[in-house]
Amino acid sequence: MYPDYFSLQVAEEHYKDLLREAELERLIHLDTHRTCLPERSFCWMGQQLVAWGYWLQARYSQKQVS
């Protein structure tokens, strides 16, 4: 049985979406390497603060339930 035309179109559009997403990720990755040191350090500090906040929330929310 051959696939119908609609299924082929859906698969082709899905493939195009994946290509666009990969290209966007590539451009974002290139842009992050071009930023200057203060911007990268602020980005790193923000990521660490978010991670620390999740850790604190998980730690203290479990102690309140017990």
**Tell me: the pLDDT tens digits for 27-60?**
888 876 666 777 778 888 999 999 999 999 988 8
Residue owning tokens 């906040």: 53
Q: Is 1 helix (H, G, I), strand (E, B) or coil?
A: coil
User: Which amino acid is located at 19 in the chain?
Assistant: L
Residue 3, exposed/middle/buried by CB under 10 A (0-12, 13-18, 19+)? exposed
Q: Which residue has the higher pLDDT, 21 or 28?
A: 21
Is the pTM of the predicted complex or chain greater than 0.75?
no
Please answer whether residues 40 and 32 qualify as being in contact, where contact means their C-beta atoms are separated by less than 8 angstroms: yes
| Alpha carbon of residue 47 to chain centroid | 13
Cβ atoms within 10 Å of 51's Cβ, excluding its own:
10
Please report, for the chain, the start and end positions of each structural domain, with discontinuous segments joined by +.
1-34, 37-66
